Amino acid sequence: MFNKILIANRGEVAVRIIRACQELGIRTVAVYSDADADALHTMLADESVRIGPPPPSQSYLCGDCILEVARRLGCDALHPGYGFLSENAGFAESVLGAGLAWIGPSPAAMRTMGSKTSARATMQAAGVPIVPGYQESQDDADLLVAAGRIGFPVLVKATAGGGGKGMRIVDAPAELPAALQSARREARNAFGDARIYLEKLIRSPRHIEFQVFGDAHGNAIHLFERECSIQRRHQKIVEETPSPLLDADLRRRMGEAALAAVRAVGYVNAGTLEFLVDPADRSFYFLEMNTRLQVEHPITEQVTGVDLVKLQIQVAAGQPIPFTQAQVGQRRHAIECRIYAEDPANGFMPSVGKVLRAVEPVGPGVRVDAGVTTGDEVTVHYDPMIAKLIVLGEDRADAMRKMDWALSHYVLLGLVTNISFLRAVINHEVFRRGEAATDFVDRFFADWLPPANEPPDLVLAAAALSELLEGAAVGATPVAVGGKAQGDPYSPWQHLGGYRVGQD
């Protein structure tokens, strides 16, 4: 087993991995940018090293800087988390070349399955159906011809991508050049790789993915599906398992297709095969493979009882997967909601600021994977996801009720979050029936705004009482007001607390 692991990431996933290492008795090294000097992951690790200024290109995407830290501090393995360098085969090679273990698949498997273009070819050869697309050229003129042949609307997607970054829907030929340019720029910023490809857009599909795992001893298993159909701007926001769409037969067939991919490339460590499922005829198409840990991995952990991060570490250390396919099952129902710092009343624009107060819901079957806590800053530099809320219920109905309870008891003050939106999604009749497809948010929430409720009297009373009680706590002297008609009602001298002289 490893002695010291460097976690080349930030936020909640870095926290998740550090915790798994600490539970395994492995020392941890965190890396951080100037924006994260006081972040949770920085504080939690046994050692923390600054790697650069806030922009990812100069910090979390700087493979050389990170590897230098790993060497200097004597790390024997590196976990890349998700995003950033996690799907960069060149970086994985550098890590291995420096004599460290890479906690992930081999660079060769990352190249084959991580690149969507060669993954499609590999899956096609293995007999798994794929969505029609075009990947043969990066030339605009070729892409325009190919798009015409596939038929509009087409999707422009980043070859190195994931999470909707660099993805564009193009409805007409005239829109293609601008979409290509913009997608390439976004892909280059997010992944350091500007290549894109085209794919036919299938209407109202379900997004269902399979968690797979291979080890160095030739064992391959899948850990069942996750349905991730609830997406906004191609970003997953609610995930669940089991999928309400799959029956035992379809689950078995998709699981076999997923395992075929693992065997085809001798895949080692954690991976995810994403499929689009047409709910009309229940046919499925291979979409892409993510050669890393997924954001939504906790729901699989909840229903299978397998700690995927620990299993990643054990498999990277050369140990076999300690159970067989027949020994792993799906029990109960898990749902995850991604909590974003964004404003539903303002077009879901990212919101930034300080978390003045965070109180996480706790209780049976409630799990919070958070990257920030009270006093932490959410900055413009990184993804606006600040936490994941995961529940495990007896069944789907119980899980939905539990999620609604947990969302309503998640206190996050100081930032605008999407919690009210998530509650509306969880309580929507189409979601409750288990019929939501990937166009669910666009269809039912296009013009959604948070309910503009009048604050109840007691909320105003609590605010006013806090002015007195919080003000008193910092030594303010009460100022008497003899009645309502005394001078300027807006004068700061009529109020207590809240003001500081010179404050804007």
Partner 1 sequence: MKTEFTYQIGDETRTVTVEREGDCFQVTVGDNAYQIRAQRPEHGRLNLQVGDRRLRAYVAHDGLRRYVAMAGQTWTLERPQPQQKRRRVGAGGPGAGSLEAAMPGLVLDVLVAEGDEVQQGQPLVLLSAMKMELRIAAPAAGRVTKVHCQAGQVVERGQVLVEIARKEDGI
Q: Does 470 help bind partner 1 (rule: CB under 8 A)?
A: yes
Indicate the residue among 37 and 479 with the shorter CB distance to partner 1.
Answer: 479
Give the distance between the most distant pair of CA atoms in the chain: 84
Q: Among 41-49, 219-227, 433-441, 451-459, which window interacts with partner 1 (CB under 8 A)?
A: 451-459
Residue 327 vs 453, nearer CB to partner 1: 453
Distances (CA, A) of 362 to 174, 307, 332: 52, 20, 19
Instruction: Give 110's DSSP letter.
Output: I
Does 347 bind partner 1 (CB under 8 A)? Our answer is yes
Contact 396, 244 (CB under 8 A): yes
Which residue do the tokens 């036919």 mark? 200
Residue with tokens 């309910």: 451
- Residues 24-63, one symbol each (x = binds partner 1 by CB under 8 A, - = not), give ----------------------------------------
- Three-class secondary structure of residue 49 per DSSP: strand
466 makes contact with partner 1 (CB under 8 A): yes
Tell me if 457 contacts partner 1 by CB under 8 A.
yes
- CB of 182 vs partner 1, minimal distance in Å: 6
- Give the count of residues interacting with partner 1 (CB under 8 A): 67
Residues facing residue 59 across a β-bridge: none
The verdict on 478 binding partner 1 (CB under 8 A) reads yes
What is the contact mask toward partner 1 in residues 152 to 191, using x (rule: CB under 8 A)?
-------------x----------------x--xx--xx-
Based on the shown chain and the rule CB under 8 A, indicate whether residue 350 belongs to the binding site for partner 1: yes
Contact 390, 409 (CB under 8 A): no
For the question of residue 292 being annotated catalytic, the response is yes
Among 16, 195, 292, 367, which one carries the catalytic annotation?
A: 292
**106 vs 270: CA distance, rounded Å:** 11
The angle that helices 140-150 and 176-191 make with each other, rounded to 10 degrees, is 110
Residue 491 as a binder of partner 1 (CB under 8 A): the answer is yes
Burial class for 18, CB neighbours closer than 10 Å (0-12, 13-18, 19+):
buried
Q: Is the peptide bond before 242 cis (omega within 30 degrees of 0)?
A: yes
Candidate residues 74, 129, 346, 443; the one interacting with partner 1 per rule CB under 8 A: 346
Binding part of the chain for partner 1, among 197-205, 246-254, 394-402, 414-422 by CB under 8 A, reads: 414-422
Identified binder of partner 1 from the candidate list 412, 424, 426, 436, rule CB under 8 A: 412
CB of 70 to partner 1, least distance (A): 25
For residues 289 to 328, the per-residue mask of contacts with partner 1, x marking binding by CB under 8 A and - elsewhere, is: ----------------------------------------
- Tell me, residue by residue from 373 to 392, as one string, x for binding to partner 1 by CB under 8 A and - for no binding: -------xxxxx--------
The residue type of 78 is L
Q: Could you tell me which stretch among 278-286, 291-299, 302-310, 474-482 binds partner 1 (CB under 8 A)?
A: 474-482
Q: Check residue 419 for interaction with partner 1 (CB under 8 A).
A: yes
User: In 10 A of CB 401, how many CB atoms?
Assistant: 14
- Helix, strand, or coil (residue 243): coil
495 binds partner 1 (CB under 8 A): yes
> Which is nearest to 143 in space by CA: 111, 162, 113, 168?
168
* H runs (alpha helix) in 87-216: 89-97, 107-109, 116-125, 140-150, 176-191
What is each CA distance from 441 to 17, 204, 244, 436, in whole angstroms?
A: 31, 11, 18, 9
Minimum distance, C-beta of residue 194 to partner 1, in the bound complex (Å):
13
**349, 397, 430, 449: which one contacts partner 1 (CB under 8 A)?**
349
Contacts of 42 (CB under 8 A, 6+ apart): 30, 32, 36, 48
Q: Number of C-alpha atoms within 13 angstroms, CB side, residue 231?
A: 18
* Minimum separation from the CB atom of position 246 to partner 1 (A): 32
Q: Is 356 one of the binding residues for partner 1 (CB under 8 A)?
A: yes
102 phi and psi, to 5 degrees? -100, 120
Contacts of 130 (CB under 8 A, 6+ apart): 120, 123, 124, 285, 286
Choice between 251 and 388, CB closer to partner 1: 388
What residue ranges bind partner 1 (CB under 8 A)? 165, 182, 185-186, 189-190, 346-347, 349-350, 352-354, 356-357, 359, 380-384, 408-409, 411-414, 416, 419, 452-455, 457-470, 473, 478-484, 489-492, 494-499, 503-504
Residues assigned a catalytic role: 292
